[in-house]
Amino acid sequence: MAEPGALALARMRATGQIPLTAQVPAAWHRQAADAGRRLVEAVVPGRLPVVMLGWWDGVEPVAGGDTGVERTKTSQVVLLTFAAVLGACWPDRSEHPFPGIAAEEDTILAAVAALGPITASAAEGGAAGRRHSKGALRRLDDARLLSIDGSEVRLGPAAALWSEEQVTALRSVYDRLPRLGERE
């Protein structure tokens, strides 16, 4: 019979996260480390804390070639919408983006719209472009990259998994993130 820690790790891998109801047992950390993974606790304000499986810095599987790892290509709408979320929810480049701050969905959608038409089917922007961007927000929420609560959007618990190397790469484009108005 599998140990409870192994079952918890399997559930985290299958579902992406599990609720954090108590301190994570040291045995879970050891079992995750034995598998080349790390446990990350994340709290999205207003939500229950969760624990997720992350990769140790530098050991995330490399995609492509004959590695056996394939990554799906993300659409331009999803990428630009997520860039607008980062622009709205990450106020200080010197800090890790997670948890960041909350932003209104309309502010994010307006920042995406200000970029101009981003899909061939939404060449005029407007309502069609807004629908595409709203759909992108839902996909990003499903991926736990952001969290939507009513009209409020903030970075999701998957952002807590970003390594310092990944955050450094994001910092290099911080000033180019789409946003409305100037930062205070």
Q: Are 18 and 8 in contact (CB under 8 A)?
A: yes
Confidence of residue 31 (pLDDT cuts 50, 70, 90): confident
pTM assigned to the model: 0.74
Task: Give the integer Cα–Cα distance in Å for 25 and 110.
Answer: 44
> Domain residue spans in the chain?
4-55, 76-176
Question: Residue 29 in 3-state DSSP?
Answer: helix
pLDDT in tens, 140-183: 998 889 999 999 999 998 898 888 888 999 999 999 999 876 54
Which of helix, strand or coil describes residue 144? coil
**Which tokens belong to 165?**
């190397």
Domain 76-176 has CATH 1.10.10: yes
- The DSSP H or E segment spanning 166 is helix 164-171
